[in-house]
Amino acid sequence: MKVLKFGGKSLANGKGIHKVVDIIEDKVNNGELITVVLSARGKSTDELEAILDKAVRNESYQEQLEAFKKYQVADYAGFSVDDEFETLDKLFEGVSLLGDYSKRIKDQVLSQGEVISAKLITHILKEKGVNAHFTDSRELIKTDGTFGEAQPLDKLSKENVITHFKKYNGTTVNVVTGFIASNTDNETTTLGRNGSNYTAALLANYLDAEELQNFTHVSGIYTANPDLVSDARKIEKLSFAEANELAYFGANILHAKTIIPLIEKNIPLRILNTFDHNNRGTLITAENNANGIKSLSVLENVSLINLEGRGLLGKVGVDARIFKALAHNNISVSMISQGSSERGIGLVVGADKAVEAKKVLEQEFEADLYKRDVNIITVENDVSVISIIGQDLSTFHRPYNALIKNQVIPLLFNNTVSGKNVSLVVYKNQLHKALNVIHGEIFEISRKINIAVFGHGLVGGTLIDQILKSAKEIEKRKKIDLNIFAVANSKKILLNKNGIETSWRSDVKEGIQYEIGDIIKFADKHHLENLIAIDNTASKEFTDHYITLVEEGFDLVSSNKVANTLSFEFYKELRSKLEEHQKQYLYETNVGAGLPLIDTIKLLHLSGENITRIKGVFSGSLSYLFNTFSKEERLFSEVLQEAIDKGFTEPDPREDLCGNDVGRKLLILARELDLSNEFTDINIHNLIPENLREGGANEFLEKLKELDLVYQKIKSEQKPNHVLRYIGDLHGDLFEEKGILDVKLVSVPESSALGQVKGSDSIFEIYTESYGDQPIVIQGAGAGAAVTARGVFGDILRLTEKG
Ligand SMILES: NC(=O)C1=CN([C@@H]2O[C@H](COP(=O)(O)OP(=O)(O)OC[C@H]3O[C@@H](n4cnc5c(N)ncnc54)[C@H](O)[C@@H]3O)[C@@H](O)[C@H]2O)C=CC1
Ligand SMILES: N[C@@H](CC=O)C(=O)O
């Protein structure tokens, strides 16, 4: 015999109830021996409770009661539950008159939900020719007299069940009311919330059932609640011990007490979906899983009570007093954690008990509060407990670090000594994000990295295309899901929590106006984790948002060099904010575009290698300009225009020509060596003649030809076999506070290392103490959207590894 239990959602009007009847019919037609246990339909129990509350306040409840009745008989001609409705009318009338009701009355009211449900299904089954028998569990399950949470009297109940099932057996399908029972005076009692599951487990136990099938609206037990974690996976098999842990820690389709009767008789429990009944669901048996399972469960309606006081230090019996006082008032503690100094003790209790718990503790510790041994007892209401079932402390650092990185700081955590379970208390408004972060970490599911791209010009646009093109491959190889949820220019933003599409260029035109706070709110609203902001602008204004972004949990990647070349004070402030919030800032493309320069210098410096000088052609655009102009008989303005058209220059090419861009790169390298130079310390040879320095970029571009004569003269005045190069040179005593930074145009022999540089290549000569006169040379394309975007992409991937 199999016991089938159907929950309220399965029995709701519409699709649900038909599915339930189909499942029962199918089993009967297959010759299976079954017993059916039912909950009240839809939200009937909650509705009956709500009507009761109105009645006791002497408010009008008739309309709600009529709606309840209508729902129960809807579409079922010939089905009558007049007796139950009459009972309800009388009970509500009495409660309304008295302005009071007892738990006994409440049990009588609520029990009608199950009775109506079982009667209806019996009626429908009979109409379909199934030999169904309505079975009122009050005649079978006998309990003690604790109304609202009665305990079954096993011996008596078992005898009743066996006698009943001897009489109604064979092809008869007993349709049993769940949740309700009666005491030895035959008064109605209930088994507490989730009581229908308990009824089913008791019947399975008494009847030595082969399996208990619990039909719900979900397809089994998941690694986390799928409503909160979209990547949650179904668990195929669980042991009772694991199920028990899950049940205790809030997996609301399991309840600890329902498992015990099954464990006793080794009866497998299968969690199934009424709406997808071909799915095999989750099977729970006595068999232990070799690898153990991991799952996240949540207790949402809890409060955190904190008892704080210096005087608790070393005092014996403080915990005992807490537990005794709370237990005396029937308040259960689901979690406790205390500092080794015993100065603070945190307890988790049900949210509905928090006020009472605080009062009880204040009474218990009245004298200690007076003596200031206890300073304060506080209640934090908006919290939830996440339990990582199957987790021990050996690998807990991974989800924990991920939480901190995502700015979810647990208020309290504890673990079990035996068994595997770590629980954390987090603020409720961070629950969704916390679950997703932990889930992504503990399962080998792709870790989602949520990226906001600011600036979608040459570099930004190329980067977005590169990411979209490689995202699938990266997910396959590295289990990282790169999700671009925002693309913005200075005015408009395109937002999509599930990631932008390849049509982003046209979509962004339809974007909305925004302020930086809107992106932060968007990320918060959609619980986006592992946030990275990418700055592909050349804007000073945008760098004003860096600190806010870091404070709001974003890592930063930037091709924009401005932030690293503002005042040294800002440079330090940004780094201290990054440290404070455990965020990263990567900017490999700031010097040398896609070349691995910053990383190399950082490593050399960190490993104690003394760098004595860095010299070279730092600008890709000016490299192209002078390499080409020196070699070919062409106009300076024509070659310059070519460098602009190839995307080598800054958005405003004057930034290259005036030396600022090379100056910035030099300053960035100097600061990597812990020098505290300011931009004003750089000696820059400005390539723009003074008469062309005023006015806007467009005006300048119209006058490019005026540069031709100037540079033709410089070119012709060189020594033979010499070429022009625009170089950066960081030298001086680099162990002092500041180095010497020069940016200048030089004429060098064509045969020298600098003289041989080609195309838009940059060359960096790094002199160190160990390498002596032979510098480490890094050379390659120093500008261009594709190489730069690739460098930014590299920084993003580096960040995902650090995470
Ligand atoms: N082109 C190259 O070879 C290299 C460029 N870089 C850096 O890459 C950055 C981007 O360069 P390009 O793509 O060539 O410039 P671009 O002019 O093509 O693109 C810049 C984009 O930033 C947007 N923007 C400007 N202010 C903004 C703000 N406040 N908020 C949001 N968006 C804003 C603009 O609307 C534009 O879409 C620059 O900082 C540049 O120095 C770095 C290394 C090499
Ligand atoms: N404009 C810059 C681009 C890279 O930083 C250059 O020419 O090098």
The alpha carbon of 366 and the centre of ligand 2 are apart by a number of angstroms equal to 70
Single out the catalytic residue among 665, 713, 715, 744: 665
Q: What does the pLDDT read at residue 292? A: 67
Helix (H, G, I), strand (E, B) or coil at 20: helix
Does 488 sit in the ligand 1 pocket, CB within 6 Å? yes
Contact 254, 247 (CB under 8 A): yes
Three-state SS string over 188-203 comes to EEECCCCHHHHHHHHH
- Residue reference for tokens 């806010």: 548
Per-residue exposure over 659-676, b if at least 16 CB sit within 10 Å of its own CB, e if not = bbbbbbbbbbbbbbbebe
426-446: b or e for each residue (b if 16 or more CB lie within 10 Å)?
A: bbeebbbbbbbbbbbbbbebb
Domains recognised in the chain with CATH numbers:
2-41+115-285 (3.40.1160.10), 295-442 (3.30.2130.10), 447-586 (3.40.50.720), 598-783 (3.30.360.10)
Q: pLDDT tens-digit profile of 114-158?
A: 999 999 999 999 999 999 999 999 999 999 999 999 999 999 999
DSSP bridge partners of 216: 273
Q: What is the DSSP letter of 142?
A: E
pLDDT of residue 440: 87
Q: Tell me what percent of the residues of the chain surpass a pLDDT of 90.
A: 78
Mean confidence (pLDDT) of the chain: 93
Contact 637, 705 (CB under 8 A): yes
283 neighbors 236 (Cβ within 8 angstroms): yes
Would you say 581 and 557 are in contact if contact means Cβ atoms under 8 Å apart?
no
Give the list of residues 6+ apart from residue 473 with CB closer than 8 angstroms, or none.
none
Which atom of ligand 1 is nearest to 562's Cα? 39
The per-residue pLDDT for 728 is: 98
Q: Which helix (H) or strand (E) holds 683?
A: strand 683-684
Strands 554-558 and 585-586: parallel
For 510, the token pair is 């339809």
Q: How confident is the model at residue 15 (pLDDT cuts 50, 70, 90)?
A: confident
β-strand partners of 134: 175
Judged against a pLDDT cut of 90, whether residue 722 lies above it is answered with yes
C-alpha torsion angle, residues 214, 216, 218, 222 (rounded to 10): -40
**8 Å CB contact between 250 and 299:** yes
Test site for ligand 1: of 536, 546, 622, most ligand atoms within 8 A of the Cβ: 536
Q: Is the CB of 462 under 6 A from ligand 1?
A: no
Q: What is the pLDDT of residue 253?
A: 59
- Sheet arrangement for strand 412-415: 333-338, 344-350, 295-308, 376-389, 421-427, 412-415
pLDDT tens sequence across 634-664: 999 999 999 999 999 999 999 999 999 999 9
pLDDT in tens, 428-477: 999 999 999 999 888 867 789 999 999 999 999 999 999 999 999 999 99
In this prediction, what percent of the chain has a pLDDT beyond 70? 97
188-207 confidence digits (pLDDT tens): 999 987 899 999 999 999 99
Residue 665 annotated to the active site: yes
**Token pair 């004595």 in the structure block, residue:** 612
Ligand 1 centroid vs 509 CA: distance in angstroms?
Answer: 18
How many whole angstroms from 589 Cα to the centroid of ligand 2? 9
Which atom of ligand 1 lies nearest, measured to the CA of 784?
A: 3
pLDDT band, very low/low/confident/very high, at 217 (cuts 50, 70, 90) = confident
pLDDT band with cut points at 50, 70 and 90 for residue 374: confident
| pLDDT at residue 23 is higher than 60 | yes
Nearest ligand to residue 653 Cα:
2
Asked if pLDDT for residue 55 goes beyond 70, the answer is: yes
Residue recorded with tokens 């080609």: 758
Using the predicted structure, report yes or no on whether residue 531 has a pLDDT greater than 80: yes
Exposure of 268 in the CB half-sphere (CA atoms within 13 A): 16
Please state, in angstroms and rounded to a whole number, the distance separating the CA atoms of residues 68 and 50.
11
- The protein residue whose alpha carbon is closest to atom 4 in ligand 2 is 783
The interface predicted TM-score of the complex, written ipTM, equals 0.98
CA distances 504 to 92, 170, 485, 616, Å, are 60, 65, 11, 39
Give residues (CB < 6 A) around ligand 2. 593, 619-621, 648-650, 656, 661, 782-783
Does this model's pTM top 0.95? My answer is no
Position of tokens 């580096």?
798
- 419 pLDDT band, cuts 50/70/90, is low
- Ligand 2 test: best mutation among 458, 587, 617, 619, most atoms within 8 Å of CB? 619
* Averaged pLDDT, 228-247: 83
Q: Which residues contact 581 (CB under 8 A, 6 or more apart)?
A: 407, 550, 551, 553
- Helix, coil or strand: residue 656: helix
How does residue 96 score in pLDDT terms, banded at 50, 70 and 90?
A: very high
Do 743 and 725 touch, CB atoms closer than 8 A? no
pLDDT at 252 over 70: no
Per residue in 307-364, pLDDT tens? Answer: 988 777 777 888 889 999 999 998 989 888 876 555 688 999 999 999 999 999 999 9
Handedness of CA 17, 18, 23, 24 (dihedral sign): positive
The number of CA neighbours under 13 Å toward the Cβ of 405 is: 23
If you average pLDDT over residues 11-23, what whole number do you get?
92
Mean pLDDT of 262-287: 91
Q: Burial code of 355-384, b = ≥16 C-beta within 10 A, e = fewer?
A: eebbebbbebbeebbeeebbbebebbeebb
Work out the average pLDDT over 713-717: 98
- Distant-in-sequence, close-in-space partners of 243: CB < 8 Å, separation ≥ 6: 221, 254, 259, 269, 284
pLDDT band of residue 485 (cuts 50, 70, 90) is very high
pLDDT of residue 315: 75
pLDDT at 444: 67
